[in-house]
Structure 1
């Protein structure tokens, strides 16, 4: 499989949504997605059950347990196994039969990084291509240059044994002479460049596209320009084109956008993670100030057998102070916050995952980011709140969900330093219908009893 990426490409600046979150740290959705792709080199064991809503309820529900059941071309099956996939992941079991069905079916799917989603639609594109036709047949758009390259790498690896299938990257800096039609059957790109190639420069005939993939839809629509460009690309396509849309979240804005561009879809949704709280014991500790919190944290860490711990702070400044204080106490600590480059964050997480540091201090940039089996303790040094000052229940769930993974027992401890923080605890208890028990970190005997 041949790529068409030039050596002198000027990287396109990511246009992801920059937002100062309630934790005081900068959250870039595109960077967060890229971080997930960099750190999840293998499939995570996702506990979420999937819910399948079929466009045609009378159609028999079909899922697969092996790649052989999909009757793939031998070259593709070889590529799949060469990538280390032994059996389909949960999302692949349900999505691949829909993607590969004849006549074709449209799909809206919720899937997070590490679940095999990119491999699934890459396999669909490679299966879809007729190598004898030397024009673009499959088109995939992603929000940034870096995410497009990540997808392209998966396609190149999976299509390693398909020499007649070629791939081009529609990204800024990859220039061609106006009016020259692409011969590559698959094109991966960012919305602005793809739109230009379809309309202004005439490198792609959009009416000949038979499979259109829109990845990272939630990141895409956070940028107004990308949202509008994606819709303009969609309007250029033929009515017979198969449409696949993927998003990590399914907020109302994502649904509204998906309904605009995906007619008569099958839908795959992840059921909520709240059942994961069953394996996590939740506590709160009364404190007066940050020094009191730090003393409680040291008591907690010194009294328990903890494999690894994640500690969440409200701001970069607080995270920096806490990491330095823990290092002074002799702990091996990694610090993660939004001013670090994505590659630096990925390297810090890799060190933590490999056990080189036992404690990871972070802001919300990492609440949804990693799955490490050894995390036995999550500490909310600062409680997560939304812009209105109320409990941010989703962030709380994602934070404490870093522990208690893969069926193991986990512990979550929240530091409470005011009447307002106690109110936040009560809001979280009400929302999740679970009791958060008070913990006295000065009473070793009580602590051991409660946390055993």
Structure 2
């Protein structure tokens, strides 16, 4: 139970309000270390309770050390996308409902005047996206000197999105902080490790191993598509199947998203769509239409691959294969959450086979190939060429230095004898 963490009764009541019955593996790992004041570098799969793992210790810190005078936020939580920031904000509101902690949300996509209250009145905990917050820092509307706890959620994604310089500047502005918590869906690659070394002070490294109940149960397979027209027909057929209760369809470009949304509408498949250039209020409305059950299909770019908090997504369909393997993992993480079963289906044309090969190597699994009767592909699966090492191996590369010298001397001696024989 959450009482084991020595949380105030108000926060324990908040966990019940949020529907939490017992701590998940990542919460068991992070909360004690964070409440002990240590810097944390943590990794956990999507849907395993990561948000509460940092909200609860941050909230407890605010309760343990009450504010003595009004001012700017003492806890700052940075997230890569508006959707994820909003999700964190909503969960923080639930978990702190029985306290007096004041929480603010700053994201792009809304009018600058919308944040006036947060910037001019006392806020205890702020959830923000890096770009918009940096705007306020540069115009001297936000002061980061009061920040005591800094949380970077899905830091790997923020680096992928090009926020490295902005985050480094915000970290520098908050250099008087007491503690930093860094969370990442994956710790693969040197980038996130190098970044963590720059901002964390003797961190505790925590990597959760979710229980079978927590782990996503996602069935994955693919359908080969001859061309774009064939791919659309496959998509329509899949979405009309009875077991597809709530689906997210991913495409790589916003133009594709808009085109697909119209095509599906013409097939009596009502849907909402989501892409990065949409104003925030329209994005919120699109997500709400799916959450409320007005439509059961969301067509989206990767802007929704992280932070999209919609319950009971039964299917994720990759209309376009992502170019990076970790993006595939984040996409399919929208289904099969919190131990529920989910399905991830990819539609793959010949020119996408290279991306498929990268994904299969990354997840260490070959995706099953399936066919739909009446929509069988006419072409065989394209083989991905294997890159061969064309570097020439030097003739004597395998010899020791001493052996190479001896061989060279013997060759010279043989040449001299041959020359002497000619001369005689």
Shift of 1:358: 2.4
Find 2:296's aligned residue among 354, 358, 368.
358
Aligned-residue Cα RMSD (Å) equals: 4.7
CA gap of 1:187–1:317, structure 2 versus 1, over 3 A, is closer
Query: Are 2:28 and 1:93 aligned?
Result: yes
Query: Are 2:38 and 1:105 aligned?
Result: yes
Contact 2:78/2:151, CA 8 A, preserved across alignment:
no
Contact 1:110/1:249, CA 8 A, preserved across alignment:
yes
In 2, distance between residues paired with 1:83 and 1:75? 12
Structure 2: unaligned runs, 5 residues or longer: 107-111, 377-424
Shift of 1:408: 5.0
Contact 1:136/1:187, CA 8 A, preserved across alignment:
no
Shift of 1:192: 7.8
CA deviation vs aligned residue, 1:43-98 (integer Å, no higher than 9, x gap): xxxxxxxxxxxxxxxxxxxxxxx232233444555565566655444433222222
In 1, distance between residues paired with 2:241 and 2:117? 57
* Match in the other structure for 1:28: none
Query: Are 2:5 and 1:70 aligned?
Result: yes
* Match in the other structure for 2:109: none
Q: How does 1:271-290 map to 2 (within 5 A)?
A: 279-287=218-226, 289-290=227-228
CA gap of 1:412–1:261, structure 2 versus 1, over 3 A, is closer
Contact 1:316/1:337, CA 8 A, preserved across alignment:
yes
Contact 1:122/1:155, CA 8 A, preserved across alignment:
no
* Match in the other structure for 2:172: 231
* Match in the other structure for 1:398: 330
* Match in the other structure for 1:212: 149
Give the match's secondary structure for 2:316: strand
TM-score computed with the length of structure 1 as normaliser: 0.61
CA gap of 1:196–1:91, structure 2 versus 1, over 3 A, is farther
Contact 1:312/1:361, CA 8 A, preserved across alignment:
yes
* Match in the other structure for 1:125: 61
Give the match's secondary structure for 2:57: helix
TM-score computed with the length of structure 2 as normaliser: 0.64
Shift of 1:280: 0.7
Contact 2:325/2:359, CA 8 A, preserved across alignment:
yes
Greater alpha carbon shift after TM alignment, 356-365 vs 119-128: 119-128
Shift of 1:360: 2.0
Number of corresponding residues: 353
CA gap of 1:204–1:280, structure 2 versus 1, over 3 A, is closer
CA gap of 1:98–1:136, structure 2 versus 1, over 3 A, is farther
Q: How does 1:401-412 map to 2 (within 5 A)?
A: 401-412=333-344
In 1, distance between residues paired with 2:219 and 2:335? 7
In 1, distance between residues paired with 2:241 and 2:119? 64
Shift of 1:156: 7.4
CA gap of 1:125–1:196, structure 2 versus 1, over 3 A, is farther
Q: How does 1:1-400 map to 2 (within 5 A)?
A: 66-74=1-9, 77=12, 85-101=20-36, 104-110=37-43, 115=50, 116-130=52-66, 133-134=68-69, 139-143=74-78, 186=124, 188=126, 190=133, 211-216=148-153, 217=155, 219=158, 222-234=163-175, 236=176, 241-247=178-184, 250=187, 252-270=190-208, 279-287=218-226, 289-302=227-240, 305-370=243-308, 372=310, 374-385=312-323, 392-400=324-332
Shift of 1:129: 0.3
* Match in the other structure for 1:413: 345
Give the match's secondary structure for 2:74: strand
Shift of 1:282: 0.5
CA gap of 1:317–1:267, structure 2 versus 1, over 3 A, is same
Greater alpha carbon shift after TM alignment, 433-442 vs 354-363: 433-442
Give the match's secondary structure for 2:294: coil
In 2, distance between residues paired with 1:437 and 1:354? 33
Shift of 1:167: 8.3
Greater alpha carbon shift after TM alignment, 320-329 vs 367-376: 367-376
Give the match's secondary structure for 2:261: helix
Contact 1:335/1:361, CA 8 A, preserved across alignment:
yes
Contact 1:308/1:375, CA 8 A, preserved across alignment:
yes
CA gap of 1:192–1:212, structure 2 versus 1, over 3 A, is farther
Greater alpha carbon shift after TM alignment, 328-337 vs 278-287: 278-287
* Match in the other structure for 1:435: 366
* Match in the other structure for 1:53: none
Give the match's secondary structure for 1:428: helix
CA gap of 1:174–1:195, structure 2 versus 1, over 3 A, is farther
Shift of 1:407: 4.6
Contact 1:139/1:187, CA 8 A, preserved across alignment:
yes
In 2, distance between residues paired with 1:156 and 1:424? 40
CA deviation vs aligned residue, 1:358-398 (integer Å, no higher than 9, x gap): 2222222222343555433333222222xxxxxx2212222
In 2, distance between residues paired with 1:301 and 1:185? 45
Contact 1:334/1:360, CA 8 A, preserved across alignment:
yes
Give the match's secondary structure for 1:375: coil
In 1, distance between residues paired with 2:104 and 2:249? 42
Structure showing greater radius of gyration is 2
Give the match's secondary structure for 2:223: strand
